[in-house]
């Protein structure tokens, strides 16, 4: 029997995460995603994915310092970024710059130190590229003391971010750190299974994430929110789209048959920030209108908001250019990728599926 795209085929065991699309649950290392976003920081959840447990105070301090130290771009990466064509999109810049990190110390087997370096350096690659192409001003002294999330937002704009925006983006990035054996994670594990190095595997994963069928940006949700702002009537806009047979961006998910647990967790966090950002408030109003209209016009369909719906509101709130949506998704997913690569090398078997020859 042939299974196109290997859909539904289990090819490995993992302790990293579990997805139940029917129940609408997502678990990292035994912990529900909503519990994690309510109680832990980006660094603490990254540590959990890499090591299997939460850090104590000393371990958390160590990780934060490692992320700061390892985010410094080597000179050859800076020179490479400068030489890349000005119109090269950010995902291609990231793929190329990450591949150039493949120095001899990145060999088999991969290490946690390598995972931390790759996680730390991706925001620096994005930020340095923006400095070169967009003229973003970047003060090293200001950035030096910043933790991962503040540093990332600062690198994107050259402005010290507000606490509201930092917390909103941190919640989104925790929710997108890991999501099972998706296309990019599988790509990375396949590459590493040949006993290649972690840099090569992450380069493969970035190349896979770049495809619009996988890492597509929530720009369609942005368009919906802006259309609602222009009209002033969320329910009328959504009703017209449904009646015209248009897809309502940000609603529904191919895996989750009920509410996307990441959207639930993100919404819960954003509700604590009500009144602090107009785009976040708007998203909650549009969600209510959307679910009301969809339940009325498409009864029996489980069409709830997915994580990209609120992600779009966050991206809009922090004034992030749409070209940076997928790179931001990638910056968080590096943690999940590297966790899988570390797991892969524990009991490595090369991936070698077969194909049916057709005359």
Contact 67, 116 (CB under 8 A): yes
Given a contact cutoff of 8 angstroms between Cβ atoms, the answer to whether 61 and 55 are in contact is no
Evaluate the omega torsion of the peptide bond into residue 109 and state whether it is cis, within 30 degrees of 0.
yes
- Those residues with Cβ within 8 angstroms of residue 114's Cβ, 6 or more apart along the chain or in another chain: 106, 198, 199, 338
- Cα 70 to its chain centre, rounded Å, is 20
**Residues 201, 206, 212, 215, CA torsion sign:** positive
Marked catalytic residue, from 170, 178, 308, 343: 308
Catalytic residue, candidates 43, 253, 340, 343: 253
- Compute CA distances 286 → 177, 200, 233, 238, 269, whole Å: 26, 42, 9, 9, 17
Return the ∠ at Cα 322 (arms to 319 and 328), rounded to 5°. Answer: 85
Is 308 among the catalytic positions? yes
For 272, half-sphere exposure in the C-beta direction (CA atoms, 13 angstrom radius) is 12
Longest Cα separation, the chain? 65
Is 296 designated active site? no
As annotated, the active-site residues are 253, 308
């Amino acid at each position: 029997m042939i299974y196109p795209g290997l859909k539904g085929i289990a090819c490995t065991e993992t302790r990293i995460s579990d997805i139940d699309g029917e129940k609408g649950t997502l678990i990292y290392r035994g912990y529900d995603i909503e519990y994690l976003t309510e109680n832990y920081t980006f660094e603490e959840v990254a540590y959990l994915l890499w090591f299997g447990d939460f850090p104590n105070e000393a371990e958390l301090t160590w990780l934060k310092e490692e992320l700061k130290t390892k985010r410094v771009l080597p000179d050859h990466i800076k020179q490479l970024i400068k030489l890349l064509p000005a119109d090269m999109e950010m995902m291609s810049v990231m793929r190329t710059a990450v591949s150039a990190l493949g120095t001899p110390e990145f060999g088999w087997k991969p290490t946690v130190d390598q995972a931390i370096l790759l996680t730390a350096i991706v925001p620096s690659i994005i930020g340095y590229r923006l400095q070169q192409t967009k003229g973003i001003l970047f003060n090293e002294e200001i950035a030096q003391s910043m933790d991962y999330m503040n540093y990332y937002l600062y690198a994107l704009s050259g402005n010290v971010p507000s606490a509201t925006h930092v917390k909103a983006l941190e919640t989104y990035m925790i929710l997108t750190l890991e999501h099972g054996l998706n296309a990019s994670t599988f790509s990375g594990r396949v590459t590493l299974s040949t006993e290649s190095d972690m840099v090569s595997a992450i380069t493969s994963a970035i190349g896979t994430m770049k495809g619009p069928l996988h890492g597509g940006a929530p720009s369609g949700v942005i368009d919906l929110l802006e259309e609602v702002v222009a009209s002033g009537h969320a329910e009328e806009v959504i009703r017209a789209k449904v009646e015209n047979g248009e897809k309502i961006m940000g609603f529904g998910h191919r895996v989750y048959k009920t509410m996307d647990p990441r959207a639930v967790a993100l919404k819960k966090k954003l509700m604590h920030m009500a009144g602090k950002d107009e785009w976040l408030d708007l998203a909650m109003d549009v969600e209510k209108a959307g679910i009301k209209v969809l339940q009325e016009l498409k009864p029996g369909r489980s069409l709830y908001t997915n994580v990209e719906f609120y992600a779009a509101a966050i991206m809009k709130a922090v004034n992030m250019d749409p070209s940076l949506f997928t790179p931001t998704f990638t910056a968080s997913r590096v943690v999940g990728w590297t966790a899988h690569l570390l797991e892969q090398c524990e009991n490595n078997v090369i991936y070698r599926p077969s194909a049916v020859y057709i005359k």
